[in-house]
Amino acid sequence: MRGLRMHPSGAAREIACGDHGGAFCAPPVTLGRHRSREPAEVRRSEGRMVEDRRESRAKARGAASPMVVEVRGRLPPLTWLRAFEAVGRHASMRAAAIELGVGHGVVSRHVRNLEEWFGRSLVVAGPRGIVLTGDGERLRRSAGAAFDLIAATTEDLRPRPAGGVLRIWCVPGLAARWLAARLDDLQEALGRVEIVLRATTERPDFGSDADVEIRFAEAPEPPPGARAALVERSRIFPVASPGWLAEHGPIVDLAGLAEARLIHEDSREQWRRWFAATGHRPRGDLAGPRLWYASSALDAATAGQGIALATRLQAADDLRAGRLVEILATDVRLGDYWLIGPEARWDSAVLAPFRRWLIAEMAATVDAASCA
């Protein structure tokens, strides 16, 4: 036939369509310059041929039954599920994006794609963040359990270093602005122990997730079978960069502070609590951007974007280097730093030296800041 062009193999070849590889299609056949549409019955026939070849290959390899292959082929892409599970757990697109190390728009797109894949709504935007629908909550529980199982199995299969492993879950502000800068010192104190640090506000499962937790709270609330130790009584105070203060003028009282550009974490509640502890009642809504985590808020303050709240440990290095300046003389406490770990391993060869190092290093940091 003149003008007929086909694939060099002489037959329709299998092509994975879509990023989850769940469908197969054949290349188009063209007559002359015009592409024709294949009749529906031809496409169905070729589809059956493709499935027959797939089943034959699976049987030849001794694979599981075609039903298992078919079920797995109907799963949505795991990247969509992972993004959705993080959104449901945090009730926030932004927090999920931070955890996954991708942009906010990427997470939002994955969730929309997953909703289109299921053909139903999984999340709705509420006044306090993302709220899951009934179907969404059901999927989140299933996906979360599956990811937890995969993580636990992965941990079991990974080769263990000779000195053991210390998995630390730590509040993000302290992890990013204090602990990460002292990992070399910690490694020297622990020897050949492998250090795994996760910055998170979540509570861990000491059986599968972490060996120890560093938490900022008024009360530690250890889970059953765990114990807690106070490692630093924490004062919290406002800070800004010298450049910002030079541009906007000094802050001389609490009323002036309340009218300034304040940098918030996930909500304005922390600043409200701080002002309440000082006895000052601000007028207005304490305007300013919300950046979710303390580490991001302090990064913005260091960059001259406004005034943030900081603990002595979070701001110690920046205060000493002159990148931040404490504003006003206040003595407010909204929480303390607690070390929480399993009772059975509290005095183990890994947790005990870590606890001693942590308490001593925090005390040295606070003393150095007081002398500066």
pLDDT tens digits for 110-166?
Answer: 999 999 999 999 999 877 778 999 999 999 999 988 988 887 787 677 666 567 889
Same domain as 89, residue 227? no
For residues 60 and 292, the model is more confident at 292
What tokens appear for 240 in the block? 């800004």
Contact 298, 244 (CB under 8 A): no
Same domain as 322, residue 211? no
Rounded CA-CA distance 33/20 in Å is 32
Same domain as 360, residue 349? yes
What tokens appear for 113 in the block? 């794609």
Look at the alpha carbons of 292, 295, 298, 299 in this order and tell me if their dihedral is positive or negative: negative
What is the DSSP annotation of 237-306? EEEE-HHHHHHH----SHHHHHHS-B-BSSSSHHHHHHHHHHT---SS-----B-SSHHHHHHHHHTTS-
What per-residue confidence (pLDDT) applies to 153? Answer: 81
What per-residue confidence (pLDDT) applies to 48? Answer: 52
Alpha helices by DSSP H, listed for 134-250, are 134-157, 172-174, 183-190, 242-248
Same domain as 343, residue 223? yes
What is the model's pTM? Answer: 0.60
Percent of the chain clearing pLDDT 70 (strictly above)? 78
* pLDDT higher than 60, residue 241: yes
* pLDDT higher than 80, residue 59: no
Arithmetic mean of pLDDT over the chain? 81
13-27, 43-57, 306-320: which range is least confident on average? Answer: 13-27
State how many domains the chain has: 4
* pLDDT higher than 70, residue 67: no
* pLDDT higher than 90, residue 369: no
Residue 253 lies in a domain: yes
Q: Of 173, 194, 184, whose CA–CA distance to 295 is shortest?
A: 173
Nearest 5°: the CA angle 263, 265, 266 is 135
Cα–Cα distance list, 169 to 9, 65, 97, 221 (Å):
56, 42, 18, 15
Rounded CA-CA distance 331/236 in Å is 7
* pLDDT higher than 80, residue 90: yes
Residue 72 lies in a domain: no
What per-residue confidence (pLDDT) applies to 162? Answer: 61
Question: What residue type is 142 in one-letter code?
Answer: S
Query: Which residues constitute the domain of residue 130?
Result: 78-157
Same domain as 153, residue 8? no
For residues 237 and 99, the model is more confident at 237
For residue 371, the tally of other CB atoms under 10 A from its CB is 7
Phi, psi of 30 (to 5 degrees): -115, 145
